[in-house]
Amino acid sequence: MQSSLLPAALIAIVLAATSAQSLASHAIYQGSIGKSPVTLVIEHTNGVTRGIYSYDRYRTPIRLKPTFLNTPMRKAMDELDPEGLPVARLHFNTTNFYPNTPLISGTWTDYRSGRSLPLTLKPQGFLEDFLRDERSGTQTHSLLQAESSERFYFQIPMMLSYDAIGAIEVMDKATGKRVQVLALSLPNICNRGINTVRVEQQDEHLHVHVDKRQHCAGASFKWDDDERRFLQL
């Protein structure tokens, strides 16, 4: 009987946490800019559209400037450099980043040179808020994170529901392979979409954080050169 009560208890915590949050959804795409394969994640939260994309060759997430629903520029998103300055524009032929749009096309334009390349994207997966779509608990897509280090990028595999996450996947940029899974205690209502994981260099060590807040115990990990892996602090 105890095991049958655990899911219900977890769902109750999720419902309590999400009741004070905005519903959100994420669309994951793969395609190309010119001849270069890319992966794109579009996040919708409370009328704001955010995004990141990466070239599959380099696997470094690139932020896109957030846009607001029902604005004239909602079909375009600026690519930002590490200092947060616009350097290019992704223009889409639609704003409907949902399963009923099987193909998205557009252009990528460099602001400095004016060079434009065709952009083509196909959907790979969709993650929606637990309250919107009961199917979200059955999806197993990993959500790319906006922050990365020189060597690693990070993903959040969705578990049980949109908000309850149980792990951080540490991925090697050079190979695209998973090198470690950082376990988080459940229930951990910590999901902030593409901004769940925070990465910083501190005291010559690489640190990875999930920040503590209401309904989220948080967690911190530090890279250990001797162990060649992240250790929880």
pLDDT digits (tens, 9 = 90+) for 74-108: 689 999 999 999 999 999 988 778 777 788 999 99
pLDDT for the residue 80: 98
Residue 195, pLDDT score = 94
Both ends of the chain: CA-CA distance in Å?
Answer: 35
Please tell me whether the overall predicted TM-score, pTM, comes out greater than 0.85 for this model. no
**What DSSP letter does each residue of the chain carry, written as one string?**
-HHHHHHHHHHHHHHHHHTTS--EEEEEEEEEETTEEEEEEEEEETTEEEEEEEETTT---EEEEEEETTSTTTTEEEEE-TTS-EEEEEEES-S--STT---EEEEEEETTT--EEEEEEEEEEEEE-TTT-GGGGG--PEEEPS---SSEEEEEEEESEEEEE-EEEEEETTT--EEEEEE-PSS-B---GGGS-EEEEETTEEEEEE--BTTB--EEEEEETTTTEEEE-
pLDDT in the model for residue 4: 40
Which residues does the chain have with pLDDT short of 70?
1-23, 69-74, 129-140, 159-163, 186-188
Give the pLDDT of residue 47: 82
Per-residue confidence (pLDDT) for residue 198, from 0 to 100: 97
